[in-house]
């Protein structure tokens, strides 16, 4: 757990490409693989810099993941970048049998999770990927919140020995970190402190949680905001600390509440006292198609809705 600075509200783009270029220089065995999505993954700098280390396998996702496992077995560091369902659900068997079971050094980056590609609909999004990926033995699961943390997560992913899953987005998101972005596998960042309620968020909900904390402050409620970017392993020390310092906890994620980050938090508290805790995410139904920010409003994943949920939770104590 580390204290980190909050940044500006300007929309920014992910920096997977920048990090891969840097790590590609350090690790000549680093490869990039995709499935007919060269333009969509936004890694053209890496591709131009290392054309012999890029593979576009077309619309053959199971083959893509199997090939990645084989390359990892030969000492390479394959990074598989694709749309959400193509990188997880469609290749579930290969992830389980070829990567997880063997503990091969495959890196999976999913780029349209939650409603970040709202117009793509449920066939191109995932709302159950965290619940699946964190159950796979040997996998590390990371969920960065903006460009700076995406860069740090990618660097950590490549440095780590073993399979890693990064849950990312598509297009612009708002900036959370301004310069300093502490990041380590198994860690988390406390972005602000307050003794009334803790808002534990991951991914692009971290920004919404910070805005919700500002709304709560206007109502006399002081909120702690935690960027729980490492879901597996999870930062139990941070969770135990906020349990001792806050009256209630609200988890916020752009994922089904069943089996996601909130469930991981509850599991971390297993056998230990914690204050009243509520999970906020996507209910047991697929969201409609539409622009992502409008969908977040519709799903109750905006700052205003988060603040209202936090107030209701405190009033119920």
204 shares a domain with 154 = no
β-bridge mates for residue 11, sequence order: 174
Q: What is the mean pLDDT of residues 12-37?
A: 90
Q: What is the mean pLDDT of residues 284-306?
A: 95
- What pLDDT is attached to residue 8? 42
288 shares a domain with 143 = no
234 shares a domain with 167 = no
- What pLDDT is attached to residue 5? 42
157 shares a domain with 89 = yes
Sequence length of the chain is 317
H/E stretch holding 271 reads: none
pLDDT level of residue 179 (50, 70, 90 thresholds)? confident
Packing angle of the helix pair 147-159, 16-26 (nearest 10 deg) = 30
Q: What is the mean pLDDT of residues 158-166?
A: 98
pLDDT level of residue 178 (50, 70, 90 thresholds)? confident
pLDDT level of residue 1 (50, 70, 90 thresholds)? very low
pLDDT level of residue 141 (50, 70, 90 thresholds)? very high
Specify if 18 maps to a domain: yes
Specify if 13 maps to a domain: yes
127 and 255 in contact (C-beta within 8 Å)?
yes
Give the domain-ending residue among 140, 174, 208. Answer: 174
- What pLDDT is attached to residue 102? 98
Q: What is the mean pLDDT of residues 171-183?
A: 84
Q: What is the mean pLDDT of residues 93-112?
A: 97
Specify if 182 maps to a domain: no
138 shares a domain with 196 = no
pTM value?
0.94
152 shares a domain with 61 = yes
- What pLDDT is attached to residue 261? 98
pLDDT digits (tens, 9 = 90+) for 248-275: 999 999 999 999 999 999 999 999 999 9
Q: What is the mean pLDDT of residues 132-138?
A: 98
The pLDDT of residue 172 is above 80: no
CB burial class (10 A; 0-12, 13-18, 19+) of residue 170? buried
- What pLDDT is attached to residue 15? 84
> How many CB atoms neighbour CB 250 within 10 A?
26
Q: What is the mean pLDDT of residues 77-105?
A: 97
Average pLDDT, the chain: 94
pLDDT level of residue 10 (50, 70, 90 thresholds)? very low
Specify if 210 maps to a domain: yes
29 shares a domain with 146 = yes
The pLDDT of residue 14 is above 80: no
Give the domain-ending residue among 174, 200, 235. Answer: 174
Total count of domains within the chain: 2
The pLDDT of residue 173 is above 90: no
149 shares a domain with 50 = yes
Instruction: Report the share of the chain in percent with pLDDT over 90.
Output: 89
Q: What is the mean pLDDT of residues 195-216?
A: 97
228 shares a domain with 96 = no
280 shares a domain with 160 = no
Specify if 67 maps to a domain: yes
CATH number reported for the structural domain that contains residue 220 in this entry: 3.40.50.920
CATH number reported for the structural domain that contains residue 150 in this entry: 3.40.50.970
pLDDT level of residue 12 (50, 70, 90 thresholds)? very low
The pLDDT of residue 3 is above 50: no
212 shares a domain with 136 = no
Q: Regarding beta strands 223-227 and 189-192, do their DSSP bridges make them parallel or antiparallel, or are they unpaired?
A: antiparallel
Give the domain-ending residue among 174, 209, 230. Answer: 174
The pLDDT of residue 135 is above 90: yes
- What pLDDT is attached to residue 2? 47
Specify if 181 maps to a domain: no
The pLDDT of residue 91 is above 70: yes
Whole-angstrom distance, CA of residue 132 vs CA of residue 88: 8
The pLDDT of residue 6 is above 60: no
Q: What is the mean pLDDT of residues 103-108?
A: 98
Whole-angstrom distance, CA of residue 152 vs CA of residue 253: 20
Smallest CA-to-CA distance from 24 within 65, 76, 95 is with: 76
**Stronger pLDDT, 175 or 264, i.e. the higher one:** 264
CB burial class (10 A; 0-12, 13-18, 19+) of residue 259? middle
Domain span at residue 72 reads 8-174
Whole-angstrom distance, CA of residue 30 vs CA of residue 46: 11
- What pLDDT is attached to residue 7? 44
167 shares a domain with 18 = yes
Specify if 2 maps to a domain: no
Specify if 63 maps to a domain: yes
């Amino acid at each position: 757990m580390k204290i980190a600075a909050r940044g500006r509200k300007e929309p920014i783009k992910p920096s997977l490409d920048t990090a891969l270029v840097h790590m590609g220089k350090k690790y000549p065995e680093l490869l990039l693989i995709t499935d007919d999505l060269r333009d969509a993954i936004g890694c053209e700098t890496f591709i131009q810099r290392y054309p012999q280390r890029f593979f576009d396998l077309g619309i053959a996702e199971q083959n893509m993941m199997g090939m990645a496992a084989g390359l990892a077995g030969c000492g390479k560091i394959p990074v598989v970048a694709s749309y959400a369902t193509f990188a997880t659900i469609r290749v579930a068997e290969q992830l389980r049998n070829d990567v997880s079971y063997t503990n091969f050094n495959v890196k999976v980056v999913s780029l349209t999770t939650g409603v970040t590609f709202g117009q793509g609909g449920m066939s191109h999004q995932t709302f159950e990927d965290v619940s699946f990926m964190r159950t796979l033995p040997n996998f590390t699961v990371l969920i960065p919140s903006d460009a700076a943390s995406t860069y740090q997560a990618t660097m950590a992913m490549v440095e780590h020995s073993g399979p890693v899953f990064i849950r990312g987005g598509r297009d612009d998101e708002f900036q959370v970190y301004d310069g300093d972005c502490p990041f380590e596998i198994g860690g988390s960042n406390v972005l602000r402190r307050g003794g009334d309620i803790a808002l534990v968020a991951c991914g692009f909900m971290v920004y919404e949680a910070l805005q919700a904390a500002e709304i709560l402050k206007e109502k006399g409620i002081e909120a702690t905001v935690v960027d729980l970017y490492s879901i597996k392993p999870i930062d139990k020390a941070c969770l135990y600390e906020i349990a001792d310092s806050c009256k209630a906890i609200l988890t916020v994620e752009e994922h089904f509440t069943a089996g996601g980050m909130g469930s991981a938090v509850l599991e971390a508290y297993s056998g230990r006292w914690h204050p009243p805790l509520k999970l906020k995410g996507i209910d047991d139904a697929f969201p409609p198609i539409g622009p992502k920010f409008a969908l977040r409003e519709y799903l109750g994943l905006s700052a205003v809705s988060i603040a209202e949920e936090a107030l209701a939770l405190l009033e119920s104590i």
